Amino acid sequence: MEAGVDKLFESLRSWEHPAMNLFSGEALLEDVVKVILDMDPGIDDALAIILALNSPELEILGITTVSGNVHVEKTSANTLRVLEAVGGGDIPVYRGAERPLVKDLVTAEWVHGEDGLGDAGLPKPSRQTRDGAVKFLTETLMSEKDVTVVATGPLTNIALTLALEPEIRSRLGRLVLMGGAFGLTPYGHGNATPVSEFNIHVDPEAAKIVFESGVNPLCVGLDITTDPATTLKREDVERLASAGTAEARTAARIIRKFVERFGFMQLHDPMAVAAAVKPSLFKTSMQHVYVVCEGDLTRGQTIIERRFWVQSQPNTEICTKVQPQDFLKMFFERLGAE
C-alpha cells in the first residue's frame, strides 16, 4: 500500500466525520453467505434489496445506508419502505455517512425522483433506522469472519470502517461493489461524467482508500451493467406489475416512471447482488486500478494500469462479462415473475 494511503488511514481515525462520530467461489445452499448491504436507495438499490431478500444463498445481517442517489435521510427511509413493502421489516438498518469524505455531496434526484424511489409513493415506514452504520460494520466484521459486504452506493462508510479498524482487511470475506467504468467493454464509459461512474464520482477519496486497502474488491461496473442485453424494457414493467407477488409489484411500482421516461431500466445494483449470489454468471479480470480524485470531468475516473510491470500487482477483480439471459431469468424468478 502506498505511504500516502497509510497516512490517510491515520488521519481518518481521528477525523470528526459525522459517520465516525457514531462509533462509541459460488455458495451452495448449505453454505449460506452472511452479507451486509451498504446502499443508497435509489431505484436500482431497491431492486437489489428485493433480490437479496429472495436469495436463499444469503443471510442478510443488516443494511447500512449512505448519502448518494439522495441524502442519507432519504436513503435510510427508503430502505425501510422497501423492506416493509416486501416483508423484510425485521432486518436492522443503520444510518451512515451523510456526506463524502472531502467534497460536497452530489445527488441524483433527476434520475431517481425527489423521494429517491422513482416517486412511487411507497408508504412511510413504521419504524426508524438505527444510528451507527460504521459501528455496526466494524463490530460485525470483527466478530463475524468471512462476511461479504455488497456495496452499491458511494464507498464512504466502507472507507471509514477500514480506516477505523485496519484488521478488517484480513477478516472480510469479500467486498462486492457496484462501481467504476473501466473501458474493458464497449459499455465501459462514465455516467456521472464522460469517464466517471456515479458511485465513485460522489466520493472518489473513499473509493481510493478502498481500492488501495488490499481488500481486492470485486467490481460490477458500467462495463457490464449498461449492456442493453441486461436491461429491463417497457414490457418488463407490465410483466412485474401483473405478477402475483409483492416483490414483483413493488419493483414495477418503483421503476415505472423511470422506464416511461427513459424507455429502459439498467440493473446496476441487482447485478452486484447477483455476483455475490451466483458468481458463475460472470467472467472477471484481475487489474490494477487507480482512482482519480481531481478535475471536473475526471473526478471519480477509474483507470486501469497498462504498464506490464505494474499489471502484475492487481488490486481489483473486475467483472467483464455476464450471461444476460441467465441473469435476467434469475432476477424475474426470484421476484416471482417467471
User: Which domain, by its residues, includes 207?
Assistant: 3-334
Q: Tell me what pLDDT residue 26 has.
A: 42
Model pLDDT, residue 308: 78
Longest dimension (CA), the chain: 56
pLDDT of res. 309:
75
Measured CA to CA, the distance from residue 291 to residue 124 in angstroms comes to 37
Between CA 47 and CA 55 the distance in angstroms is: 12
DSSP assignment of 27-43 equals PPTTSPEEEEEEE---H
SS (H, E, C) 120-142: CCCCCCCCCCEECHHHHHHHHHH
What total number of domains does the chain contain? 1
| Other Cβ atoms within 10 Å of 67 Cβ, number | 29
Residue in 106, 117, 21, 23 with CA at minimum distance from that of residue 67: 106
The pLDDT of residue 89: 80
Burial 141-154 (b: 16+ CB within 10 A, else e): beeeeebbbbbbbb
**pLDDT for 310:** 72
Residue 326 has a CB neighbour count (10 Å cut-off) of 13
Query: What is the rounded CA–CA span in Å between residue 108 and residue 121?
Result: 18
Ramachandran sector of residue 268 (left: φ over 0; alpha: ψ -120 to 50; beta: rest): alpha
- pLDDT at position 13, please? 53
Query: Alpha carbon of 37 to those of 1, 83, 206: distances in Å?
Result: 26, 13, 17
CATH code of the domain containing 165? 3.90.245.10
Burial of 318 (0-12, 13-18, 19+ CB in 10 A): buried
| 268 catalytic residue (yes or no) | yes
pLDDT for res 109: 95
pLDDT means per 10 residues, the chain with 338 residues, are 56 53 42 96 98 97 98 98 93 98 96 95 93 97 96 98 95 97 96 98 98 97 98 97 96 97 97 97 97 97 88 91 98 94
| Amino acid code (one letter) for 110 | W
- Predicted pLDDT of residue 11: 59
- Report if pTM > 0.85: yes
Write down the catalytic residue from 17, 71, 268, 288.
268
CA distance 286 to 289: 9
Q: How many C-beta atoms surround the C-beta of residue 231 within 10 A?
A: 18
pLDDT confidence of residue 5: 56
Grid coordinates representing 5 are: 494511503
C-alpha 227/C-alpha 276 separation (Å) is: 19
Q: What 3-state DSSP class applies to 66?
A: coil
Side-chain-side CA neighbours of residue 197 (13 Å): 30
